[in-house]
Amino acid sequence: MNTSSPETAVRQTFDTVAGSYDQNGVEYFRPIAARLVELAELGAGEYVLDIGCGRGAALCAAADAVGPDGQVVGIDVSAAMIEKTSADLRRRRASGMVVAVMDGAHPGFGPGYFDAVIGSNSVHMVPGLESAYVRYRTLLAPGGRLAVCAPASVLEPEPRVFGLRSIAAASARFSVSARVYPQEEAFGGAEKAVADLRRAGFDNVVVRVEDVVLRAVSPDQFVRWTWTHGMRMMWDTMPAEHHEAVAREIAAEVAEFATESGVFEIPSPVRYFIAR
Ligand X SMILES: C[S@@+](CC[C@H](N)C(=O)[O-])C[C@H]1O[C@@H](n2cnc3c(N)ncnc32)[C@H](O)[C@@H]1O
- Give residues in contact with ligand X (CB under 6 A): 10, 14, 22, 29, 33, 51-54, 57-58, 75-78, 81, 103-105, 120-122, 125-126, 229-230
Q: How far is the CB of 243 from ligand X (least distance, A)?
A: 22
Amino acid of residue 2: N
DSSP the chain: ---S-HHHHHHHHHHHHTTTTT-SS-BSHHHHHHHHHHHTT--TT-EEEEET-TTSHHHHHHHHHH-TT-EEEEEES-HHHHHHHHHHHHHTT--SEEEEE--TTS----TT-EEEEEEES-GGGSSSHHHHHHHHHHHEEEEEEEEEEEEPPB-SSS-BBTTBHHHHHHHHHTT--TTTSTTS-GGG-HHHHHHHHHHTT---EEEEEEEEEEEESSHHHHHHHTTSSTTHHHHHHS-GGGHHHHHHHHHHHHHTTB-TTS-EEEEEEEEEEEE-
Judged by CB, which is closer to ligand X: 130, or 249?
130
Judged by CB, which is closer to ligand X: 85, or 166?
85
Q: How far is the CB of 178 from ligand X (least distance, A)?
A: 13
Judged by CB, which is closer to ligand X: 98, or 255?
98
| Contact between residue 47 and residue 70 where contact means Cβ atoms under 8 Å apart | yes
Judged by CB, which is closer to ligand X: 88, or 249?
88
Judged by CB, which is closer to ligand X: 31, or 258?
31
Q: Indicate the residue whose CB is closest to ligand X.
A: 54
Q: How far is the CB of 76 from ligand X (least distance, A)?
A: 4
Q: How far is the CB of 54 from ligand X (least distance, A)?
A: 2
Residue 164, phi-psi category: left (phi > 0), alpha (psi -120 to 50), beta (remainder): beta
Q: How far is the CB of 122 from ligand X (least distance, A)?
A: 3
Q: How far is the CB of 48 from ligand X (least distance, A)?
A: 13
Judged by CB, which is closer to ligand X: 36, or 275?
36
Judged by CB, which is closer to ligand X: 87, or 245?
87
| Contact between residue 114 and residue 141 where contact means Cβ atoms under 8 Å apart | yes
Q: How far is the CB of 118 from ligand X (least distance, A)?
A: 9
